[in-house]
């Protein structure tokens, strides 16, 4: 196996804010450190001993329920005794979700190891975003199957409740039977069958699976939706209630500042916004709390600040953070030195930085996760045969790449004739248009238009020849389609699309070890792993 490294800018559709951050060797204005910094390792996250003990007890109970191994239990005790945390997180998606779930966890594990090796005790923690209520993002997995990407979806009633608390139900058996065609016979599939049962919730199944995948690396999991965790973080929620106007104004000011710098905000903030969700007492639906005429509203119900503070006191689990407060809540209940995030998370961290300062009086460092594309041997062979790299796929439409390969495969005589005709045409057109410009400026402009049309027709001849070659050699188009399906399916990044379960079933623990090894990010861009 070998690994190639590309600049992060090889990836399409990145926000300018993330691109600027990822390439900056000095701290960008909205961030505490640059992605190349190691200062976070030595910055102790101050936390009272009693809160450490309380969180360690909760984590111990929770991770044992997930089936955690001894290395995870040891890491929880290290956390209790003073180690700091490298944290990452993700929604509890079916069967572990896309490849980036592995990449996030691997990066947190490697960063914690690097910090510990440097003399600063750290442990890796994975924050399961169980309070997210976007079921449409969590109820399916995409797996490659021959010549298509198949979507396996679990039918679950969406009643607006948090995804993590939803039971999988009887339909999970049919989904497992379906994915067995692709994953069956592997150790990973056996884990899926043990973890994903009708009576388990999305959170329990996801937690059980990740505990097994990362057992040898001691990854600590946390589901902070329970009452005890929210009670620990109650001071954060209290500030979000009592200082709602100041926090909103700070966010609006930051949004204006970002816009003036040429950036866009990741999370929409309006004069009615707050940083909180409220779980309905009867339906359990999770609804955003909004400001309305100096009061609060969630759905059709209204509240005043005293009502919310009373709920926080008696039922803290009913209040939850939105995207801009979640990391602040997280960093209050955990001794976090650094958070590992994807492009979107890093972009909205520029907004939440003002919330950090107002609520915690400090800002946590954030680092980018490992970004990677995994290339299996048959695809690597096709790429090598046609001299195609990942950057070609990401920057080129499949039809255009197919034409390029068709043109390359033409007989030498045909290439020579087209090249000679094109060169001769260019030379003659250049000569005649220059002469006509000397006669009259308007005549010269007309000549340029006519010449452009002639060059278009020359290019059309090239395309016709290339298309004929494609029809003659049908394997060329099949190879192009295979490369895109494997590495850029539907013109979406593999790491954000393909289920991690596919690669784990085929490559097992060795893949996890490889990702952890290379998550040190001596190459801070995008890595291509040739498996």
Is residue 445 domain-shared with residue 522, that is, in the same domain? no
Q: How many CB atoms lie within 10 A of CB 252?
A: 16
Inter-residue contact 206 to 105 (CB < 8 Å): no
| Strand-strand pairing, 2-6 and 140-145 | unpaired
For residues 517 and 478, membership in a common domain is answered with no
Q: Give the pLDDT confidence score for residue 413 in this predicted structure.
A: 77
Tens of pLDDT, residues 217-271: 999 999 999 999 999 999 999 999 999 999 999 999 999 999 999 998 888 899 9
Domain count for the chain: 2
113 belongs to a structural domain: yes
Same domain (yes/no): 455, 397: yes
pLDDT tens-digit map of 462-515 = 777 767 776 767 788 899 999 999 999 999 999 999 999 999 999 998 999 999
> Quick one: 511 and 388 in the same domain?
no
pLDDT one-digit tens code per residue, 325-360: 999 999 999 999 999 999 999 998 999 999 999 999
Pairwise CA distance, residues 358 & 239, whole Å: 9
Residue 263: inside a domain? no
Residues 216 and 85 reside in one and the same domain:
yes
Q: Is residue 88 part of a domain?
A: yes
- Whether residue 209 lies inside any domain: the answer is yes
**What is the tens place of the pLDDT at every residue in 361-415?**
999 999 999 999 999 999 999 999 999 999 999 999 999 998 888 877 777 777 7
Domain boundaries, position 522? 2-231+365-373+502-530
Are residues 458 and 515 both part of a single domain? no
Name the pairing type of β-strands 301-303 and 295-298. Answer: antiparallel
DSSP 15: -
- 479 shares its domain with 509: no
DSSP count for the chain of H helices, then E strands: 22, 16
Whether 194 and 100 share a structural domain: yes
Q: Which of 35, 72, 24, 26 lies closest to 338, judged by CA?
A: 35
Q: Tell me, what DSSP letter sits at residue 366?
A: E
Q: Do 510 and 486 reside in the same domain of the chain?
A: no
Instruction: Mark whether 188 and 69 lie in a shared domain.
Output: yes
Kindly indicate the confidence band of residue 458, based on its pLDDT and cuts at 50, 70 and 90.
confident
Residue 133 lies in a domain: yes
Are 369 and 389 in the same domain?
A: no
User: What SS3 class is residue 90?
Assistant: strand
> 134 and 6 share a domain?
yes
Given this model, what pLDDT does residue 421 score?
Answer: 84
Strands (E) in 369-435, as ranges, are: 371-375
Residue 358 in domain: no
Name the pLDDT band for 78 (thresholds 50, 70, 90).
very high
Host H or E run for residue 377: helix 377-386
Tokens of 511: 């893949």
pLDDT digits (tens, 9 = 90+) for 34-77: 888 899 999 877 899 999 999 999 999 999 999 999 999 999 99
Q: Does 274 reside within a domain?
A: no
For residue 54, tell me if it sits in a domain.
yes
């Amino acid at each position: 196996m070998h690994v190639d490294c590309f600049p992060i800018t090889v990836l399409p559709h990145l926000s300018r804010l993330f691109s600027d951050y990822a390439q900056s060797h000095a701290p960008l204005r909205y961030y505490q450190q640059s992605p190349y910094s190691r200062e976070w390792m030595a910055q102790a996250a101050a936390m009272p001993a009693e809160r450490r003990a309380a969180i360690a007890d909760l984590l111990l109970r929770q991770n044992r329920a997930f089936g955690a191994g001894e290395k995870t239990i040891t890491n929880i005790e290290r956390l209790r005794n003073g180690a700091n945390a490298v944290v990452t997180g993700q929604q509890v998606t079916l069967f572990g979700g896309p490849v980036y779930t592995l990449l996030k966890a691997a990066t947190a594990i490697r960063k914690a190891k690097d910090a510990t090796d440097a003399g600063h005790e750290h442990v890796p923690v994975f924050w399961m975003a169980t309070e997210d209520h976007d079921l449409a993002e969590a109820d399916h997995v995409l797996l490659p199957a021959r010549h298509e990407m198949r979507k396996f979806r679990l039918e679950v009633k969406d009643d607006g409740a948090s995804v993590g608390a939803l039971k999988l139900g009887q339909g999970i058996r049919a989904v497992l039977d379906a994915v067995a065609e692709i994953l069956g016979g592997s150790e990973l599939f056996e884990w899926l069958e043990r973890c994903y049962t009708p009576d388990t919730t999305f959170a329990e199944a996801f937690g059980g699976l990740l505990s097994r995948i990362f057992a040898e690396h001691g990854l600590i999991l946390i589901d902070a939706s329970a009452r005890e965790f929210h009670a620990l973080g109650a001071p954060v929620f209290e500030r979000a209630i009592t200082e709602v106007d100041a926090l909103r104004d700070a966010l609006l000011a930051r949004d204006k500042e970002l816009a003036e710098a040429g950036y866009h905000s990741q999370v929409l903030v309006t004069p009615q916004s707050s940083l909180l969700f409220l779980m309905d007492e009867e339906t359990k639906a999770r609804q955003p709390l909004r400001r309305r005429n100096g009061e609060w509203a969630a759905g059709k119900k209204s509240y005043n600040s005293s009502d919310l503070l009373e709920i926080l006191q008696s039922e803290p689990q009913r209040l939850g953070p939105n995207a801009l407060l979640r990391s602040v809540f997280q960093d209050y209940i955990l001794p976090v030195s650094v958070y590992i995030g994807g492009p979107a998370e890093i972009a909205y961290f520029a907004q939440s930085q003002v919330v950090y300062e107002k609520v915690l009086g400090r800002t946590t460092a954030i680092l980018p996760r490992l970004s990677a594309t995994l290339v299996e041997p048959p695809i690597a062979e096709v790429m090598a045969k046609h001299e195609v790299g990942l950057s070609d796929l990401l920057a080129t439409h499949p039809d255009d790449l197919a034409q390029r390969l068709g043109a390359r495969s033409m007989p030498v005589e045909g290439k020579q004739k087209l090249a000679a005709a094109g060169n001769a045409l260019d030379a003659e057109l250049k000569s005649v248009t220059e002469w006509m410009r000397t006669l009259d400026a308007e005549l010269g402009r007309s000549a340029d238009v006519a010449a452009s049309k002639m060059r278009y027709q020359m290019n059309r001849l090239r395309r016709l020849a290339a298309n004929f070659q494609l029809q003659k050699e049908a394997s060329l188009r099949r190879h192009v389609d295979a490369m895109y399906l494997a590495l850029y399916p539907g013109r979406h990044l593999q790491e954000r699309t393909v289920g991690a379960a596919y690669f784990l079933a085929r490559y097992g623990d060795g893949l996890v070890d490889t990702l952890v090894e290379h998550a040190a990010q001596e190459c801070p861009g995008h890595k291509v792993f040739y498996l």
